[in-house]
Amino acid sequence: MTEQELRALVRETVARHAAQPSRPAIPSAAAFVHLHASHGMFAVPAGADADGPCIIEPAVMCNHCGYCKSYGH
């Protein structure tokens, strides 16, 4: 393939691509979860995940809800 043939092929491809209607990119739900700050998780001190009292409400046992690791959303 010559350089001119390659250039012609690239021009055809670009023209074909440009002729298609453009759509805005819609992020998937999974991407939204990773991007939104309310879904972030904090690093809780070692031992907090073990069977023991809840960090937020020490009078009850930890049920591993994850509330202490997040903003509570």
Residue 18 lies in a domain: no
Q: Tens digit of pLDDT for each residue in 6-19?
A: 999 999 988 888 77
Structural domain for 70, as ranges: 40-73
Classified as helix, coil or strand, 38 is: helix
Q: Compute the distance between CA of residue 26 and CA of residue 28 in angstroms, rounded to an integer.
A: 6
Contact 61, 52 (CB under 8 A): yes
Number of domains in the chain: 1
Amino acid at 59: A
Residue 11 lies in a domain: no
- Positive or negative torsion for Cα 60, 53, 67, 64: negative
Q: Tens digit of pLDDT for each residue in 24-61?
A: 666 655 555 556 667 777 777 655 556 788 888 889 88
Residue 31 lies in a domain: no
